[in-house]
Amino acid sequence: MTSDTQGAGTTTEDKSKAFKADLVAIIPALRAFARSLCGNPALADDLVQETMLKAWTARGSYIVGTNFKAWTFRILRNAFYSTWRKSRRLTSIDEEHHAKTARAIENVETAMELAEVSSAIRQLPIEQREALILIAAGGFNYDEVARIIGVAVGTVKSRVSRGRSTLAVLMTKRHNRRTPTPVMGAAAGLIRDSDQLVKRAAATP
């Protein structure tokens, strides 16, 4: 994003062009967030399209100079919850998506790890999942996430902490199924590395 989203002293046409440019530039980040939330590429693309339309329609309500990325993420989140309430099936895992991801990565172990992380993320309660994704993959700070979600900063910190711990437990169980002898300190290490794992999984096409 270059303008965030239009400066003072510009014409209405210039402002619209700047807004459109910023909206197009944010598409990859919106798509990654949407896929992390719903686990289905097709549904994620629908959410992104809906977000783009709603953002364009509501462009007059955007406050110049504020965080444009956070503003669009909040629109996408609201669109997701609106759809999710109508169909709880959005939380199901898209196995075809994981298969494509695995084939696209040369290192088989890495592919398996990312697929397992993606699967584990979608097992998290939605409140923990979205908070962890926004912090780890979205690049937002706690204050920004609190504004996007509409809760107190302390609530965000609690959800992220619980999400990291739950993700570590899920990944440890998966690891132990492959390796009968538990690795000492594995859970602690996964909690420490969870943000990086989430970021990598969210960035996978």
Q: Which tens digit of pLDDT belongs to each residue from 54-81?
A: 999 999 899 888 899 999 999 999 998 8
Residue 91 pLDDT? 44
Q: Which residues of the chain have pLDDT under 70?
A: 1-10, 86-115, 174-205
- Which candidate, 123, 120, 125, places its Cα nearest to that of 198? 120
Q: Whole-angstrom Cα distance, residue 119 to residue 114?
A: 8
Tell me if the pTM is above 0.85.
no
Query: For the chain, what are the domain ranges?
Result: 12-89, 107-203
CATH classification for the domain delimited by 107-203, as one of 1.10.150.110, 1.10.3720.10, 1.10.10.10, 3.40.50.300 = 1.10.10.10
CB of 94 closer than 8 Å to CB of 39: yes
Residue 9 pLDDT? 52
Q: Which fold has domain 12-89?
A: Rna Polymerase Sigma Factor; Chain: A (1.10.1740)
Residue 19 pLDDT? 92
Residue 8 pLDDT? 52
